[in-house]
Chain A
Amino acid sequence: IFFLKMKILLLVMLLCYSFAFSSGDTTIHTNNWAVLVCTSRFWFNYRHMANTLSLYRTVKRLGIPDERIILMLADDMACNARNEYPAQVFNNENHKLNLYGDNVEVDYRGYEVTVENFLRVLTGRHENAVPRSKRLLSDEGSHILLYMTGHGGDEFLKFQDAEELQSHDLADAVKQMKEKRRFKELMIMVDTCQAATLFNQLQSPGVLAIGSSLKGENSYSHHLDSDVSALYYFMNGMYITIGVSVVDRFTYYTLAFFERLDIYDNASLNRSYDPRQLMSTAYYRTDLYQPHLAEVPVTNFFGSVMETIHTDSAYEAFSSRISNSKINADMPLDQHPEHDLKENLQNANNPNDDLKNEKQKCPYTQMRADLQEKLEKLENVDTMVNLSIAVMVLVVIVSSSLL
Chain B
Amino acid sequence: MKNEDDGEMAEEQKKKPCRFWIWALSSVFFRLILISFPGNLNLSSRPEVSTPLTSIRRLAEGYWLKQASMSPYAGSMYHGSPLLLSLLGPLTVQRIKGQPSHLLCSLVFVVADVLTAMLLRGIGQKLQMAYGLNARLLGFLKSSRDKGILPCGDIAALVYLWNPFTIVSCVGLSTSPIENLAVVVALYGAVKRRVPLAAFGLVMATHLSLYPATLTIPIIFLLGYGLDAPPIKLFLQTKSVENQDRSTSDVSKTEAKLKQTTRVPFLWKTVLHFVFWVLLWSLCVLVLCGLSLIKHGGLEEMFKSTYGFILSIEDLSPNIGVFWYFFAEVFDFFRNFFLIVFHVNILFMLLPLAIRLKHRPCFLAFIYLTISSILKSYPSVGDSALYLSLWALFVNELVDMKFSFFLFCGYLGISLLSPVMHNLWIWRGTGNANFYFGNAIGYACFQIVFVVESVSAMLNHDRALKRCNSKNSREVKN
CB contacts (< 8 Å) of A316 on chain B: these are 67, 93
A399 touches B (CB below 8 Å): yes
Cβ B196 vs Cβ A385 within 8 A: no
A272 touches B (CB below 8 Å): no
In angstroms, Cα B200 to Cα A392, docked, is: 9
Cβ A399 vs Cβ B68 within 8 A: no
In angstroms, Cα B68 to Cα A323, docked, is: 10
In angstroms, Cα B67 to Cα A320, docked, is: 7
CB contacts (< 8 Å) of B195 on chain A: these are 403
Chain B, residue nearest A397 (CB): B197
A259 touches B (CB below 8 Å): no
In angstroms, Cα B95 to Cα A316, docked, is: 13
Say whether, besides A396-B197, A403-B196, A389 and B291 are in contact (CB < 8 Å): no
Could you tell me how many residues of chain A have their Cβ less than 8 Å away from some Cβ of chain B?
24
Distance from A385 Cβ to chain B, minimum over Cβ atoms (Å):
5
B83 touches A (CB below 8 Å): yes
Q: Which of A14-22, A89-97, A139-147, A375-383 contacts B (4 or more CB under 8 A)?
A: A375-383
In angstroms, Cα B197 to Cα A396, docked, is: 6
Distance from B412 Cβ to chain A, minimum over Cβ atoms (Å):
38
Say whether, besides A312-B97, A317-B68, A382 and B86 are in contact (CB < 8 Å): yes
Cβ B87 vs Cβ A389 within 8 A: yes
Distance from B255 Cβ to chain A, minimum over Cβ atoms (Å):
41
A318 touches B (CB below 8 Å): yes
Main secondary structure of the interface of B (DSSP, over half): helix
Cβ A376 vs Cβ B196 within 8 A: no
Residue of B97, B189, B288 near A400 (CB, 8 A) is: B189
B194 touches A (CB below 8 Å): yes
A-B residue pair count with CB separations less than 8 angstroms? 65
CB contacts (< 8 Å) of A320 on chain B: these are 67-69
Say whether, besides A313-B93, A313-B95, A314-B93, A381 and B292 are in contact (CB < 8 Å): yes
B284 touches A (CB below 8 Å): yes
In angstroms, Cα B382 to Cα A30, docked, is: 48
Residue of A314, A318, A382, A392 near B292 (CB, 8 A) is: A382
Say whether, besides A313-B93, A385-B86, A319 and B294 are in contact (CB < 8 Å): no
Quick one: which of A356-403 are within 8 Å of B by CB? 375-376, 381-382, 384-386, 388-389, 392, 396, 399-401, 403
Distance from A315 Cβ to chain B, minimum over Cβ atoms (Å):
8
In angstroms, Cα B85 to Cα A385, docked, is: 11
In angstroms, Cα B194 to Cα A375, docked, is: 35
In angstroms, Cα B288 to Cα A316, docked, is: 25
Chain B, residue nearest A315 (CB): B64
Distance from B344 Cβ to chain A, minimum over Cβ atoms (Å):
33
In angstroms, Cα B216 to Cα A7, docked, is: 71
Cβ B86 vs Cβ A376 within 8 A: no
- Kindly supply a per-residue 1/0 record for chain B positions 86-100, scoring 1 wherever the CB is within 8 Å of any chain A CB and 0 otherwise: 110000011101000
A: residues with CB less than 8 A from B are 312-314, 316-320, 323, 375-376, 381-382, 384-386, 388-389, 392, 396, 399-401, 403
Some 17 contacts from A to B, beta carbons below 8 A apart, are A313-B94, A314-B64, A320-B68, A323-B69, A381-B291, A382-B86, A385-B288, A386-B87, A389-B83, A392-B200, A392-B284, A392-B288, A396-B200, A399-B196, A399-B197, A400-B194, A403-B196
